Amino acid sequence: MAIDVLIPNQLPRTNVGRSLLIKSFFLCLCALFLIPAFGTHAGTGEPWDLVESENFRVYYRGNAKSAQKVLDISEEFYPKMHRLMGDVRIGRIEIWVCGAPSEFQAAVHAPIQDWAIGCAFPLSRRIIIQNPRVIIQRDFQLAQVIRHEIVHVIFGQRTKKAIGKIPRWFVEGVAIYFSGEWAPRRNDALMKHIFSKSVIPLAELTNRFPKSENQAQLAYAESQNAVEWLVETHGVEKLWEIVDQLAEGDDLDTAFRNSIGLPLVAFDAQWRKSLSQRYHWAAMLSSSHLFWGSLAVFFMLVYLRYWRYKRRRLRQMERESEEVDAFFIER
Ligand SMILES: [Zn+2]
């Protein structure tokens, strides 16, 4: 329930908030013990405001315009996830827009969390995002972050029966694929690691992503690429089949075997093998050392060629000046 993390002095200034005040007084006692991640850590005593729509509630502190924008992006995206929802009734999703990075940091103790930008709790249909200004400063698009987290919630609700059995790389890959996210920086990271043959096997991205930001970005890029490759090689309907099977409670390995005839371990190996075949030249060019080294060699060759031409031309001019014009030859 949305209200389960509110403590009385955090209730939004709305009718919804007021009508649930008494109820929350009792629920908050449980919340303080059961789900303290957001309500207590982020509770600075300042009240949260609320804007809401048919499918979302956006809690915020400060900028009402940003909150409305978050709500508009969410409502615009929601109907596009109709097929992912299947016949599951999702219920209202709540989005908490943090005012300060410290509020967000305090709340990031989630089963699914994104690198210091957004965080989703699918089972409680809760999303926590950084202040939109922080998101933009870090070169992420607000709409992409919101859509990504909404996919987490909807996918998590749909696959509740298998939620502990789905590898992290697949959960993130699905979120990136369905949200239509594009992060060139992540792609660059992947290309560099293909070149240096240091791609992380998907099996190592089952339970958690690496702690360092660079390695985490690589893990996101790999997740995206693996799901895209699955769609490229087997078709999008196979991805839907896998989602349907997860919704039935199958684990991912079973779903892969049933839909594409490959166990996860074989898919992982084939996908990694495909990387060096698909991105051979791109990986070479994306390596900054090699790129700048090649560029330096190129300019050196151009200079050498010019220098040789110039030397040849000077010699030719010398020869011409040494020749005596036939007109002045004395007989
Ligand atoms: Zn994510």
Q: How far is the CA of 328 from the centre of ligand 1 (A)?
A: 88
280 belongs to a structural domain: yes
Q: Rounded to an integer, what distance in angstroms lies between the CA atom of residue 56 and that of residue 72?
A: 10
Question: What pLDDT does 4 receive?
Answer: 25
Q: How far is the CA of 140 from the centre of ligand 1 (A)?
A: 13
| Domain containing residue 205 | 167-305
239 belongs to a structural domain: yes
pLDDT in tens, the chain (331 residues): 222 222 222 333 333 333 333 333 333 323 333 333 444 344 456 788 999 999 999 999 888 999 999 999 999 999 999 999 999 999 999 999 988 877 787 766 654 445 568 889 999 999 999 888 888 777 778 899 999 999 999 999 999 999 889 999 999 999 999 999 888 888 888 999 998 899 999 999 999 999 888 899 999 999 999 999 999 999 999 999 999 999 999 999 999 999 999 999 999 999 999 998 898 776 666 555 666 676 777 778 888 887 887 788 787 777 766 654 444 444 4
Q: How many domains does the chain have?
A: 2
Among 23, 1, 28, 21, which residue's Cα sits nearest to residue 93? Answer: 1
Mark whether 171 and 288 lie in a shared domain. Answer: yes
Q: How far is the CA of 156 from the centre of ligand 1 (A)?
A: 11
Q: How far is the CA of 114 from the centre of ligand 1 (A)?
A: 5
Neighbours of 166 (CB within 10 A): 19
Mark whether 4 and 125 lie in a shared domain. Answer: yes
Burial 294-318 (b: 16+ CB within 10 A, else e): eeeeeeeeeeeeeeeeeeeeeeeee
- Kindly give the interhelix angle for 252-260 and 264-278, rounded to the nearest 10 degrees: 70
Question: Of the residues 113, 129, 158, which one is the last residue of a structural domain?
Answer: 158
Q: End-to-end alpha-carbon separation of the chain, Å?
A: 116
Among 132, 147, 144, which residue's Cα sits nearest to residue 61? Answer: 132
Q: How far is the CA of 233 from the centre of ligand 1 (A)?
A: 24
Mark whether 152 and 172 lie in a shared domain. Answer: no
The CA–CA distances, whole Å, from 217 to 83, 199, 278 equal 28, 12, 20
Mark whether 8 and 141 lie in a shared domain. Answer: yes
Q: How far is the CA of 91 from the centre of ligand 1 (A)?
A: 20
Strands laid side by side in the 56-60 sheet: 49-52, 56-60, 93-97, 126-129, 118-121, 112-113
DSSP E strand boundaries for 42-186: 49-52, 56-60, 93-97, 112-113, 118-121, 126-129
| The two structure tokens encoding residue 116 | 């210091």
Across the strands, what pairs with 60?
49, 97
Mark whether 197 and 117 lie in a shared domain. Answer: no
213 belongs to a structural domain: yes
10 Å CB burial of residue 239 (0-12, 13-18, 19+) is buried
Mark whether 107 and 219 lie in a shared domain. Answer: no
Q: Rounded to an integer, what distance in angstroms lies between the CA atom of residue 135 and that of residue 140?
A: 6
Question: What pLDDT does 117 receive?
Answer: 81
Question: What pLDDT does 232 receive?
Answer: 97
Q: How far is the CA of 167 from the centre of ligand 1 (A)?
A: 12
Mark whether 171 and 152 lie in a shared domain. Answer: no
Mark whether 146 and 206 lie in a shared domain. Answer: no
Q: Which CATH number do you get for residue 116?
A: 3.30.2010.30
| The two structure tokens encoding residue 66 | 């940003």
Q: How far is the CA of 289 from the centre of ligand 1 (A)?
A: 31
Question: Of the residues 141, 158, 175, which one is the last residue of a structural domain?
Answer: 158
Q: How far is the CA of 93 from the centre of ligand 1 (A)?
A: 16
Mark whether 106 and 209 lie in a shared domain. Answer: no
Question: What pLDDT does 236 receive?
Answer: 98
101 belongs to a structural domain: yes
Mark whether 210 and 284 lie in a shared domain. Answer: yes
Assess contact for 156 and 122: CB atoms under 8 A.
yes
Q: How far is the CA of 120 from the centre of ligand 1 (A)?
A: 8
Q: Rounded to an integer, what distance in angstroms lies between the CA atom of residue 267 and that of residue 245?
A: 17
Q: How far is the CA of 117 from the centre of ligand 1 (A)?
A: 10
313 belongs to a structural domain: no
pTM, entire model: 0.73
Task: Write phi, then psi, for 49 (nearest 5 degrees).
Answer: -95, 165
Q: Rounded to an integer, what distance in angstroms lies between the CA atom of residue 303 and that of residue 307?
A: 6
Q: How far is the CA of 302 from the centre of ligand 1 (A)?
A: 47
Mark whether 197 and 287 lie in a shared domain. Answer: yes
Among 16, 39, 12, which residue's Cα sits nearest to residue 28? Answer: 39
237 belongs to a structural domain: yes
283 belongs to a structural domain: yes
Q: How far is the CA of 31 from the centre of ligand 1 (A)?
A: 25
204 belongs to a structural domain: yes
Question: Of the residues 111, 141, 158, which one is the last residue of a structural domain?
Answer: 158
Q: How far is the CA of 165 from the centre of ligand 1 (A)?
A: 16
Mark whether 214 and 78 lie in a shared domain. Answer: no
